[in-house]
Amino acid sequence: MMESLRERISNAQHEIWAHWMNYLFSVCQENPDGTFLIPADKAERWHAQMATSYSDLTESEKDSDREQAEKIIAILYG
């Protein structure tokens, strides 16, 4: 049971990460050498969010985190 739960949560975490990486690469500029450039406005925003505790995020930012949390809750209670 716990092994199965761990694997289901691990799968969800991977999907959450893959979703984020898809978004990240979609907003970046790909350079001819295969590197990517994060736009300054995105980098500034994400740095600010990283330095902000969850309780101090805007409701919109919290909603994004809540959406991801729902995926784990669905595994645990769904």
In contact, 8 and 75? CB cutoff 8 Å: yes
Question: Torsion over CA of 1, 11, 56 and 51, rounded to 10 degrees?
Answer: 120
Domain locations along the chain = 2-77
Collapsing DSSP to helix, strand or coil, 33 comes out as: coil
The tokens describing 48, both together, are: 């600010």
Whole-model pTM? Answer: 0.83
pLDDT, tens digit only, all 78 positions of the chain = 778 999 999 999 999 999 999 999 999 999 999 999 999 999 999 999 999 999 999 999 999 999 999 999 999 998
